[in-house]
Structure 1
Amino acid sequence: MSRFNVSIIVPVFNEADQLTPLMNRLRLLQDRVTEIIIVDGGSDDGSFEKLSSEFQVIQAEKGRANQMNAGAAQATSTWLIFLHADTHLSPSHINDMISLASLSQWGRFDVKLDDSAWAFRIIEWFINRRSSLTSIATGDQCIFVRKRFFDELGGYASLPLMEDVEFCKRAKRQAKPVCLRKAVTTSARRWQQFGVLKTVLLMWKLRLYFWLGVSADDLAKQYR
């Protein structure tokens, strides 16, 4: 089985309860990629100590953008995949990515939420449709990008929120993304915890305010 010239970068922070299933999923990818880099943001729940030595594990300043940039700086592959700890990426996703990656400098997957309720099918449809129309992806869609292109763009801006949206805005000015219809599955826990309607309205509001120029620091306070 061929190993692709891909580095998977996984930012984690206080994910102790999620680490065992995460590492089990990552083990299924080890033989398909050059390296898997887990970047801990200074967890205080024992996450760092629980991370397996079979993966490359580094520490960085807290914040997804900072952690992903640190992982990218360590990466040695042609392609980078940024994978959230609660998103499921399979070997077949990587196969599909590689088969179409030559069409662009970067891209993303469709997303599926891990709840069977009908409301989540509607949310998924809107997320994927919006992303296809705007060429803007969120981090749970597993953004992938050529390392050289990522470096040329200066990586992710050091923002506490919307770093993925801001990166896509810059990236799409240079190259149209590959939008893979194959969906990665991600956690619906935020919608489940805070309510579907409340969460959808909050996310729409945050995105609108970001486009209107409200600082990511101010938006992050509302998101928490």
Structure 2
Amino acid sequence: MLISIIIPTHNDGENNIFFQTLENLRSLKNIEVIVVDLDSKSDFLGKIKNYSITYYSVPLQSRGKRLSYGSKRANGDIILYHHPRSLIDIRAIDFLKEHHQSFHWGALTHNFIEKRWFYKFTSWYSNYIRGDIRKIYYLDHCIFVKKHILDEINHMPPHEIFEDTVLCNLLKKVYKPIRIEFVSQTSAIRFEKNGIVFQSCMNFILKLCFAIGISTKK
């Protein structure tokens, strides 16, 4: 049972979480790590050359297109779409291998690295309301799905944003997801950089535009 881990990167040369992920994955067997990068820089290439990964540099602005590019070239039976600013409990990999016959797709349990009440509430909502009830998981949950299912739907949708939402909407029509208890810890860098109020308002506006059908490119 081979698991392919697809990580989309862009300006991640100083992203310590991404490099910690590569370090954490070093010891695992029967996995392949595929990094699909936009606008690679020399410092980034120099840092990743010591890791056993498959690397692609592609002129694809859309994260969804980069994820799709990677999974179409993957050899694994299971695809794990891995957010570049998330750290997963690597025990999840063994769980997926051992229980592969009991699921079609799903996601890890979300948590933020930074500890604030707002972040805890956001994770709770993401896991139990948007996830368990609505069956929608974002990329920072680290979504996993069997490759033959992705082949049927032509892999990750090419949308500019909300490609993870569109993917989940497609998948949940035919298969029920599972959320496993192993944690995906994600950096709250956007909230920290832009402020909780501003970023929350921006997220709401984007979700509203998506809901009423405005194109994701616009």
Q: Please report the TM-score for the alignment, with normalisation by the length of structure 2.
A: 0.90
1:216 aligns to what SS in structure 2? Answer: coil
Q: Distance in 1 between matches of 2:201 and 2:97?
A: 35
Q: Supply the distance in 2 between the matched residues of 1:13 and 1:48 (Cα, whole angstroms).
A: 12
Work out the CA distance in 1 between the residues paired with 2:207 and 2:96.
27
User: What secondary structure sits across from 2:207 in the alignment?
Assistant: helix
Moved beyond 4 Å, runs of 4+: none
Tell me if structure 1 keeps the 8 A contact 2:17–2:86: no
Computed over aligned residues only, the root mean square deviation of the Cα atoms, in angstroms, reads 1.8
Q: How many residue pairs get matched?
A: 214
| Partner SS for 2:2 | strand
Query: Are residues 1:135 and 2:135 paired?
Result: yes
Which structure ranks higher in relative contact order (CA pairs < 8 Å, sequence separation ≥ 6)?
2
1:201-224 deviations in whole A, cap 9, x for unaligned?
Answer: 322332232122111112xxxxxx
- Asked if 1 retains the 8 angstrom alpha-carbon contact of 2:12 and 2:18, the reply is no
Unpaired runs of 5+ in structure 1?
A: 219-224
Change (3 A) 1:134 1:101: farther
The offset of 1:137, in angstroms, is: 0.7
Q: How does 1:161-172 map to 2 (within 5 A)?
A: 161-172=161-172
- Within 5 Å, give how 1:93-104 maps onto structure 2: 93-104=92-103
Secondary structure of 2:217's partner?
Answer: helix
**C-alpha distance 203-34 of structure 1, shift in aligned 2 (>3 A):** same
Residues 4-53 of structure 1: per-residue CA shift (max 9 Å, x gap): 510111110111101x5523422322323321111111235743443225
Would you say 1:25 and 2:24 are equivalent positions? no
Greater alpha carbon shift after TM alignment, 134-143 vs 101-110: 101-110
Matched ranges for 1:184-199 at <5 A: 184-199=184-199
Contact 1:139 1:164 (C-alpha < 8 Å) held by counterparts: yes
What's the TM-score once normalised by structure 1's chain length? Answer: 0.88
Between the aligned residues of both structures, percent identity stands at 23
Q: State how far apart, in whole Å, the 2-side matches of 1:28 and 1:106 are.
A: 23
1:40 aligned partner: 37
SS at match of 1:215: coil
CA distance in 2, matches of 1:70, 1:204: 29
Cα distance in 2 for partners of 1:89, 1:69 equals: 21
What stretches of structure 2 of length at least 5 have no aligned partner? none
Give distance in 2, aligned partners of 1:197 and 1:64.
25
